[in-house]
Structure 1
Amino acid sequence: MNGKWIHICVAAATAGALAGSAIAAERLDIGKREYEANCVACHGPKGKGDGPFNEFLRVKTPDLTVLTRNNGGLFPVNRVLEAIDGRALVKGHGTREMPIWGDVYDAQAQPQFDDYGYNAKLFVWARTLALVDYLSRLQVK
């Protein structure tokens, strides 16, 4: 899956998840917001693995900007998705029985209001894809 396809998927999922929102999806970088809220502490502001929590970790935090380079020039979309949602075991993210971000996103997907149609799976998928898209944009050339 190339970068353009990721952008298309994120735009479609985001449009569906934010339908009716006063904020236009194209002006809101959901992936960047997700990264800053959930990843910066360990992976650092630029994804280099130099976040402020690193001194407390037993596992070295990877440099997320070289994922494409380390995968033969192709961004590893599926591997990144599985690391984020918990399908792949990442020591720093918890066990398979407790996938941290998959569970967190799922818990946050609970509707705040009952008077409108809501799709929790779409909400979780849109946030996850937006984060994957942002990580693909952090890649060094």
Structure 2
Amino acid sequence: MKGFYTTFCAFLVAAPMHVLAQDADVEAGHQEFTASCAGCHGETGKGDGPLAGLLGIETPSLTLITKRSGGGDFPFYNTLKLIDGRDVRAHGGEMPLWGERFQASATSQRGETADMVARGRILSLVYYLASIQEE
């Protein structure tokens, strides 16, 4: 029974940390979005950024990713791969291949590789995009 209580107490302590980690991921993603994406997709992600009119394509609303994928769960992995663009060049056109851009500009002070830094920036973006989906 002692093992149960130890596990249960550890769960209670860890659960709030998980929520805080998610909030931190979303906030980091919001900052990345503002710096890298809002120029085209707009501050709210609806495709109405100040540069959107200069593009040769209609800039999509990023608040409708779940709806466009058929509803249900947010397509986390697919969104991650599309933003990265290094393995799946489906977005093409005028959207940058963020994996390449982030990797090229990566700096680390703790020994991460450029690829690790790029993937972390993209991951934070995906967490943020998941948080702004319209019902």
Q: TM-score, normalised by structure 2?
A: 0.71
Which structure exhibits the higher relative contact order, with contacts defined as CA atoms closer than 8 Å and separated by 6 or more residues? 1
Alignment of 1:48-67 (within 5 A): 48-67=46-65
Amino acid at match of 2:131: R
My pick for the range that moved more, 58-67 or 102-111, is 102-111
Which residue does the alignment assign to 1:120?
A: 114
Alignment of 1:1-141 (within 5 A): 11=21, 26=24, 29-71=27-69, 72-86=71-85, 87-90=88-91, 91-94=93-96, 99=97, 101-111=98-108, 116-141=110-135
Q: Which runs of 5+ in 2 are unaligned?
A: 1-17
Q: TM-score, normalised by structure 1?
A: 0.69
Q: Which runs of 5+ in 1 are unaligned?
A: 1-7, 13-24
C-alpha separation in 2, matches of 1:27 and 1:39: 16
Instruction: Tell me: CA distance 1:75–1:27, structure 2 relative to 1, closer, same or farther (3 Å).
Output: closer
Percent identical across equivalent pairs?
37
More helix by share: 2
